[in-house]
Amino acid sequence: MRGHAVTEGRFRHRGAELAYEDAGEGPLVVHAHGGFVSRAVEDRMGLFDWTPVLDSGLRLVRYDARAHGRSTGDPVDTDYTYPSLADDLLGLLGHLGATRPAGAVGASMGCGTVLHAAVRAPGRFSRLVLLVPPTAWATRGAYARTCRASADAVERDGADAWIAARLGRPGPAVVADVPAFPPTPPERVLPSVLRGLAASDLPAPAALAALRRPALILAWADDPGHPLSTAEALADALPEADLHVSRTRADVGTWGRRIAEYLDPTRPRPAS
C-alpha cells in the first residue's frame, strides 16, 4: 500500500483479540483473507495490490481472522465455521463505528465469511468482491472429508508432516510463481480450524438469491480447491453478480485495479 499510512489496531470479540490495519480515508472497505494465511502472508505472496483501492479514495481495513496471523483464538471447532467468522466481521464493523454500508472483499475462506455476513445483515454492506470462491455445495463433501482427516492427523502425528505435504503440493498453474507458506494458526488450534472449515459451506443458493447487493466475482482457472463451477454457480445465484475469470498471472495482476473500479463510490449501482 505504497504512499499510504497504515494504523494498527486490535479489538476483543467473543473471547479473542482480533488484529487489523486501517489505511486511507473515505468510504469504508473491509477485507477478509483466505484460510491459514494472514494479512502479512498475503502481502508476501504478492497476489493482491491494494494500492489502487486506496488511491481511489477509499478507506481499507484488513484484519487477521480468528487464530490467524496476529489474532488470537481458542481450540473450539465452532469458532471457525463461516457463520462464526461472519460474526467476527460484523463485530469489526461495529468496533469501527461503521454507520453506512461498507464494501467488503473476501478471498476463499474470506469469501464465505463475507457472504454469510451479508446474508445475515445485508444493510451493513454496499458492494461485495468475492475472490477465488472456495469449493461449495455439491463439491464441498470431498474437501470436508480431507479437512477432517487432516485434523485427525495433526492431533495424532503433529503438524509438521501435514504442513510438509501441504507445501509440497503444486498450486494452480495461473499462480505457479506464488510461493506457499506454512499455516499461521498455531498447532494447538489448527485441528479446530480444519474442522470448522469442514463444517462450513457457502450460504444456500436460495439465500443468495435474496441478497440484492452488487457482487464482483474474481476467479482463476484449474484450481480444484476453488473450482470454476463454484464461481459460476455463485454468479448464477446472486441477482447482481459479475464474473471475471483469469487464466494468466498477468490478468490476476489486474485484480487490484478491477476491485478499485468496482468499489468506486461514484459507480452507479444497478436498480434493485
pLDDT score for 272: 36
End-to-end distance of the chain based on CA atoms, in angstroms? 34
Question: What is the C-alpha separation between 266 and 49, in angstroms, rounded?
Answer: 21
- Neighbour tally for 256: CB within 10 Å: 18
Provide the 8-state DSSP code for 137: G
pLDDT score for 17: 98
Question: What is the C-alpha separation between 247 and 249, in angstroms, rounded?
Answer: 7
Residue 270 lies in a domain: no
Question: What is the C-alpha separation between 106 and 101, in angstroms, rounded?
Answer: 16
Question: What is the C-alpha separation between 190 and 172, in angstroms, rounded?
Answer: 24
Q: Which residues sit opposite 28 in a β-bridge?
A: 59
Residue 1 lies in a domain: no
Domain count, the chain: 1
Residue 272 lies in a domain: no
Do residues 82 and 106 touch, judged by C-beta distance below 8 A?
no
pLDDT score for 270: 45
Residue 61 lies in a domain: yes
| Phi, psi angle pair for 89, to nearest 5° | -65, -45
Instruction: List per-residue pLDDT tens for the chain, 272 residues long.
Output: 677 899 999 999 999 999 999 999 999 999 999 999 999 999 999 998 999 999 999 999 999 999 999 999 999 999 999 999 999 999 999 999 999 999 999 999 999 999 999 999 999 999 999 999 999 999 999 999 999 999 999 999 999 999 998 888 888 999 999 988 999 999 999 999 999 999 999 999 999 999 999 999 999 999 999 999 999 999 999 999 999 999 999 999 999 999 999 998 776 654 43
Residue 132 lies in a domain: yes
Residue 164 lies in a domain: yes
- Neighbour tally for 94: CB within 10 Å: 12
pLDDT score for 73: 98
Q: What is the span of the domain harbouring residue 89? A: 6-263
pLDDT score for 264: 86
Residue 271 lies in a domain: no
What value does the CA radius of gyration of the chain take, rounded to a whole number of Å? 17
pLDDT score for 168: 82
Residue 269 lies in a domain: no
- Report the CATH number at residue 82: 3.40.50.1820
Question: What is the C-alpha separation between 94 and 97, in angstroms, rounded?
Answer: 5
pTM of the model: 0.95
